[in-house]
Amino acid sequence: MHLLVTGGAGFIGSNFIHYLLRTYQDVRITNLDNLTYAGNLENLREAENDPRYEFVKADIAEAAQLEPVFADRRFEAVVHFAAESHVDRSLHLGVEAFIRTNILGTQKLLDLTRAHRVPRFVHVSTDEVYGSLDDGGSFTETSPIQPNNPYAATKAASDFLVRAAAKSYNLDAVTTRCSNNYGPYQFPEKLIPLMIANAMENRPLPVYGDGQQVRDWIYVEDHCRGVDLALRHGETGAVYNIGGMHDVPNLEVVQQILHLLNKPATLITHVPDRPGHDRRYAMDATRISEELGWAPQFDFTAGLRRTVDWYLNNRAWWERIRSGAYRDYYQKIYQQRS
């Protein structure tokens, strides 16, 4: 099976490529990524010399860059991860890049997929499109779409464009919506790697507001398996929720990280809350479990231990990121918060 994977140099995309290469002998992967601040080819060093893998630098919002990639190959599916992915950036740095990549870029890919008759399109989306749960219950695939931050709004728009392409042109599209991922290669602006790196350097751990916001955490490999099942067996036009079945307040996650690293709770610093911060996410993943036989294989304690170990053993990876362009961003955000 020859796949076009977009955003494969990012966190989940690179984990997905590693997962495919170790799971299937007969897979071929073209990784299309324009290497934004979040794209890092170091994540794919082990794949570089694998004849089943190739990298193409291109921007999904530029049809002229996509056209030759589709024309020269006969893809059997597109798996679309590429996005501007961080909520805080969409709030503090402006939404334009999010609109361009997440909305326009998704539409360009849909157009090329249709024009070149690629048989299947898998759209990787997020629980953020459902908004916040203030009372009990969890999100199902039929929950209302009520995004509350600019990132989530652009992902919701992309979900609607995928739906529209499926309905209007019979495009064979499947959408997955997943909760908060963690694991190796996650950019250290996101909660878990940021807290691990800060704790290792004895820096303050900035918890937004009271830290009682609840997120559902999933180990990235479990997400990758879900996307792969949706790709191979998902029903045309379907949406599948994917969740780790581990809903906990942020503060508890941070405390667990400190415990694993044997660092003091005094490093925790409560900072002003994220604007419009969603209070609680929880996912109902019954559909993918019942229809595709998916279940998470990593419990949070084991997954977090593996993740902490990875950041301990790959210090150079995140230190290089933190000493580069990202440092200026982080300083700006941190000044705004304090």
The catalytic residue positions are: 127-128, 151
> Considering only residues 208, 217, 240, 294, which one is a binding residue for ligand DAU as defined by CB under 6 A?
208
Closer to ligand NAD by CB, 241 or 263: give it: 241
Give the span between the Cα atoms of 269 and 303, in whole angstroms: 25
The three-class DSSP label of residue 337 is: helix
# binding residues, ligand DAU (CB under 6 A): 20
Q: Is 153 in the site for ligand NAD (CB under 6 A)?
A: no
Per-residue burial over 235-261, b if 16 or more Cβ lie within 10 Å, else e, is eeebbbbbbbbbbebbbebbbbbbebe
Q: Does 246 bind ligand DAU (CB under 6 A)?
A: no
Nearer to ligand NAD, 155 or 246 (CB): 155
283 secondary structure, DSSP code: B
CA distance 122 to 5: 10
Coil, helix or strand at residue 205 = strand
Beta strands (DSSP E) in 159-228 are 173-178, 180-182, 205-208, 214-219
131, interface contact from ligand NAD, ligand DAU, none, CB < 5-8 Å by kind:
none
Closer residue to ligand DAU (CB): 208 or 294: 208
Please, are residues 55 and 31 in contact by the beta-carbon 8 Å criterion?
Answer: yes
250 binds, among ligand DAU, ligand NAD, none (CB under 5 to 8 A by kind): ligand DAU
Piece of the chain touching ligand NAD by CB under 6 A; list 23-31, 140-148, 174-182, 245-253? 174-182
Smallest distance, ligand NAD to C-beta of residue 307, A: 13
Q: For residue 148, state whether it binds ligand DAU (rule: CB under 6 A).
A: no
**Can you say whether residue 30 is alpha, beta or left, with left for phi > 0 and alpha for psi between -120 and 50 degrees?**
beta
Which residues form the interface with ligand DAU (CB under 6 A)? 85-88, 126-128, 179-180, 190-191, 194, 206-208, 213, 215, 250, 274, 281
